[in-house]
Structure 1
Amino acid sequence: MAMLIEVQGSGNSVPFYSDERIFLGEGLFETLRVLDNKPCYSQLHWQRLQRAALFLQLPFELSPSVWYENLTQCIALNQVQDGGIKVILGAGNAPRGLVATSKKSRLVFTAFNYLAENTAVKLGSASWLRDSRNPVYQFKSINYLEAIIARRQAQINGIDDVLFFNTEQCATDTTTANLFIIKNNQLFTPSLQNGLLPGIIRQRLLSLCQENNIVCFECNLNKTSLSEADAVFICNALQGIRPVSVIDNTVFKTNHSLIAQLQAILAADQRNSLR
């Protein structure tokens, strides 16, 4: 197998070595929610990682069943009841040079305890624009420098996170979550063509809306669209759905009935994804 698999338990972590491509930012990761000692949406996370690894030409020779076995082993080793698992797919060891490649990638599983927050989030516009054609935004890259800079700016400005916009002035996502707005009891979310991560919870919400006869559109959302929204929320695998109270100077209702309905639907769906 052209891949080294490591399931880390408490106290047995192995460092990455200086010649590994991960230090050039070449690698991917997935973060899964753990509920009742089991991983949520394990198949969907496997599929997304597989697609990204194929694009980056990283060896990822792991069946869904072996993937699941490693996830559950990691949960058991770390005795995590409710929390998360971070899985890093590093490009492996290679000679110096940007185009150098490795014949063996490295897959590392690490579990952790985590308590999801349910308080409303304050957002502000990022101070720079993104290029929607940049393929990096389509993947969960280990290179999080842009997100770190943005989150630190948010902290300085007294807000929780930033909302990115592309060069066409359309909203994309935050540093760690996808965006939805509610208008007239209908949902709207930025389309993938705007340059954003295809989040697992975003994917599930699109399907769940269709199953529950909730109208949802993937579209372009500019600042005018956001300011006219009745409510706004963000979502990701760890947090689930969190309402947004403020974007820049616009205040939003955080107790919208549709948000509560979606939270209940998603909670049931997460439980159904456990096996």
Structure 2
Amino acid sequence: MHIDFGEIRENVQEVLKKPEIQTGRKALKITVSKENRLVSVRENTYTEQDYEQGFITGYANVRRNETSPLTYHKTLNYGDCILEKRRVKAEGIQEPVFLNTRGELSEGATTNVFFVKEGEIFAPPLSCGMLPGILRQYMYERYDIQEEIILPEMVHSFDEMFVTNSLLGIMPVRSLEDFVFPGMEMGRKLLEEYRQHTGMRY
């Protein structure tokens, strides 16, 4: 498939000139397929209060299929994630966390998940079934990440949890289901380092 990056740049520039994108915090999304080029804008709903309080997370009802090759690629098939995000919102949960078919933690609906224990950072290995996000790669390039199969009954042994994606950066997590993590210090430290690295401000 031939991609005309010049055409995409022109589309992006046209969108960036629109008055409605000049104020507030926006997210720019570029979707490219064989037939179409789509540049869209939506509100970035993450707030500084979210980072201060930490996300409330809970388990999704749907299992992530670690045996499917599509699980490891960014596609337009977000059906499970959208439905679970809508379901848990009514319960005050900001991010559903998926288990895979073996009952292991895999990823959030829109995030990769990390845990902290005694100053060390842990993450499920790719084989647990997840989209290897850009911020996950950032973490692996800059920090010593210990990979470990994480089961729900192990969560209480961790000091912290945080989630990552390109839009929110690094988000400390307050709780997973009914377990409240003892702290969010490492998550906040990593967030500040990420903001300094990227110039990201809220």
Instruction: Name the aligned partner's letter for residue 247 of structure 1.
Output: L
Give the structure-1-normalised TM-score.
Answer: 0.63
How far 1:178 moved relative to its partner? 0.8
Q: Which amino acid aligns with 2:3?
A: E
Alignment match, 1:14: none
Confirm or deny that 1:168 pairs with 2:97. no
**Partner Cα separation in structure 2 for residue 199 and residue 160 of structure 1:** 19
Give the TM-score normalised by structure 2.
0.83
User: Are 1:204 and 2:133 counterparts?
Assistant: no
Structure number, greater radius of gyration: 1
CA contact (8 A) 1:190 1:219 kept: yes
| 1:189 CA drift (Å) | 1.2
Offset, 1:246: 1.3
Question: How far apart in 2 are the matches of 1:66 and 1:253?
Answer: 50
Aligned residues: 194
Using the alignment, how far apart are the partners of 1:161 and 1:105 within structure 2? 33
Identity %: 23
- Which residue number in structure 1 is paired with residue 39 of structure 2? 109
Letter in 1 for 2:37: L
Alpha-carbon distance change, 135 to 152 in structure 1, aligned in 2, over 3 angstroms:
same
Q: Which residue of 2 aligns with 1:240?
A: 169
User: In the alignment, which of 148, 158, 180 is matched to residue 114 of structure 2?
Assistant: 180
In structure 2, what is the equivalent of residue 230 of structure 1?
159
AA matched with 1:88:
T
What does the per-residue CA deviation read over 1:131-162, in whole Å, with 9 as the maximum and x for residues that have no partner? 20112221222222111221222124332221
| RMSD of Structure 2 on Structure 1 (CA) | 2.4
Label 1:259 to 1:89 Cα distance change in 2 as closer, same or farther (>3 A): same
Residue in 1 that maps onto 2:197: 269
Q: CA deviation at 1:61?
A: 1.8
Counterpart CA distance in 1 for 2:196 and 2:10 is 23
- The separation in 2 between residues aligned to 1:149 and 1:115, in whole angstroms, is 18
Unaligned runs of 5+ in 1: 1-58, 91-103, 210-214
Question: Given the alignment, which residue of 5, 12, 15 partners 1:74?
Answer: 15
Unaligned runs of 5+ in 2: none
Q: CA deviation at 1:234?
A: 0.7
Question: Which amino acid in 1 is paired with 2:84?
Answer: A
What displacement does 1:66 show? 6.6
Structure 2: how far apart are the matches of 1:80 and 1:136?
A: 36
Q: 1-side partners of 2:42 and 2:90: how far apart?
A: 28
